[in-house]
Structure 1
Amino acid sequence: MSVSNSKGLLTGATGQLQARWLETRGSWRDRKALEFEETYLSDLESSVSATVKVIEEIERLLSQVHADCE
């Protein structure tokens, strides 16, 4: 699996998770739902964004190493 594919899979899966959570949140409205959201989902977007930046940096470095080896 390439670095680009990993980035795409991560962002795609995150988008799907957020969409499914919105669907679930429509019917799950108690305190436990809020607790779940705060514990597991509240920082997800920022964490994924930071991870994507790291993946892009790794991709850049790998390209540079590849170019240097030619």
Structure 2
Amino acid sequence: MLKRLQRVTMTIRGQITIIIMIALITISPMGDALERWVTDDLAVPNLESVAHELNTLATDPR
């Protein structure tokens, strides 16, 4: 079996297949964590509350 695996990795097709498999194995568990991280850091502000705050600041009679 080791000899067969060694023969597969010698071809460009085998190398590409192994790279894709490693990428899938790496990305699958990291996908959820990455999605949570991006969602937390790049949260879209609530435009209605921002507009209300700006309106309050603009009409504040000081």
Give the TM-score range, shorter chain.
0.3 to 0.5
TM-score (normalizing by structure 1):
0.34
Which protein has greater RCO, CA pairs closer than 8 Å, 6+ apart? Answer: 1
TM-score (normalizing by structure 2):
0.37
Bigger radius of gyration among the two:
2
